[in-house]
Amino acid sequence: MLITLNQAAQKLKSANKILITSHIQPDGDAIGSSLATLQIICALGKPAQIFIDDDIRKNLHFLPFFNEIQRPTENINFDADLLLVLDTSPDRIGKIRDFINAPILNIDHHVTNKNDAGDLYLDSDAAATCEIIFALANELNAKITPEIATCLYTGLATDTGFFQFSNTRAKTLKTASELVNCGVKPNFISENMETRSLNEVLNMRTALNSLKIFYGGKVAGMLLDLQTMQNCESTEGFIDLIRVIDGVDVAFLISERSKNVCRVSMRSKGVDVSKIANNLGGGGHIRAAGCTLYKNLDDAEKILVEAIGKTL
């Protein structure tokens, strides 16, 4: 059921113990919004914990309270009476939904949110879920500490390509400005987000060597097999290497994570890739989206290229 931001705030106030989670393949907005909300809820005097059912890339480990994030197990020892799902619909949170039997409060900005469980506050005009959490903090009369501001700014910056993507609006920049006034150091965040290990840089070279061009130059893709991925700490930023190619509208990266499990990331300049991802069981934004294909690398490539071709 769709609810207002004030109603979402009231549900947080009335809950006793809150479990916070977000989507698999977590990005800066997923982790930033989760960590910021954890601090806001704890400041209200309520017990809260974060469980994320996936690995989290190293360049997000600098965020305040990062060590509070746990991986879920079948024996989660946290009897929550509210499951707070951020930056995704509940179908993309992995095993957590099977382990926790609690009402769901879902806060998201993705237009592809399925609205199929619990209460949903959805603002598809927001550049990031972190932008919503900033507004939610105001509803709760919560103080934005430098630590909370750092988490929120990171999510806002990463979901807008550091304010370069088309979802960057006047409200987005105003929120970023207010977060800087709360103590954010933008250079500290960008330096941490941009840092790459030597191995990651070498893997970028491998990714570029796999470059393929489709549909007369309108689509560019990279494919990383399982062997490459076993030596790859992160693929963050890889897709941006080909997104900028002149004439390319859609760029994609397929990474093989295990046998018959391939993760897909897409970026575009004009095509609505969220529709492509949604049709393939994923989701995301109009210009940035992803999904998981339970196929081998060759079949995943074929399925994705055909799906993209239908939109051109």
What does the alpha-carbon distance between residue 197 and residue 233 come to, in Å, rounded to a whole number? Answer: 9
- Mean pLDDT for all residues in the chain: 93
Q: Is the same domain home to 24 and 165?
A: yes
Q: Is the same domain home to 155 and 205?
A: no
| SS3 call for 277 | helix
Q: Is the same domain home to 165 and 143?
A: yes
**Can you tell me the mean pLDDT for 116-120?**
88
Q: Is the same domain home to 80 and 124?
A: yes
- Which one is predicted more confidently, 135 or 198? 135
Cβ pair 88, 53 in contact under 8 A: no
Q: Is the same domain home to 149 and 19?
A: yes
Contacts of 250 (CB under 8 A, 6+ apart): 218, 219, 220, 266, 267, 268, 269, 271, 273, 308, 311, 312
What does the alpha-carbon distance between residue 38 and residue 136 come to, in Å, rounded to a whole number? Answer: 13
Q: Is the same domain home to 80 and 184?
A: yes
Q: Is the same domain home to 231 and 130?
A: no
Q: Is the pLDDT of residue 276 over 80?
A: yes
**Can you tell me the mean pLDDT for 77-96?**
90
For residue 32, what is the domain's CATH number?
3.90.1640.10
Q: What percent of the chain has pLDDT over 70?
A: 99
Q: Is the same domain home to 119 and 239?
A: no
Segment 216-256, tens digit of pLDDT:
999 999 999 999 898 887 888 899 999 999 999 999 999 99
Q: Is the same domain home to 140 and 229?
A: no
Tally of domains within the chain: 2
Identify the sign of the CA torsion 123, 104, 50, 55: negative
Q: Among residues 159, 193, 227, which one ends one of the domains?
A: 193
For residue 288, what is the domain's CATH number?
3.10.310.30
Q: Is the pLDDT of residue 87 over 70?
A: yes
What does the alpha-carbon distance between residue 108 and residue 90 come to, in Å, rounded to a whole number? Answer: 10
* pLDDT number for residue 234: 81
285: containing domain: 200-309
Q: Is the same domain home to 162 and 304?
A: no
* pLDDT number for residue 236: 82
Segment 13-34, tens digit of pLDDT:
999 999 999 998 899 999 999 9
What does the alpha-carbon distance between residue 37 and residue 166 come to, in Å, rounded to a whole number? Answer: 26
- pLDDT band for 187, please (50, 70, 90 cuts): very high
Q: Among residues 193, 214, 237, which one ends one of the domains?
A: 193
Q: Is the same domain home to 187 and 243?
A: no
Q: Among residues 143, 173, 193, which one ends one of the domains?
A: 193
- pLDDT band for 127, please (50, 70, 90 cuts): very high
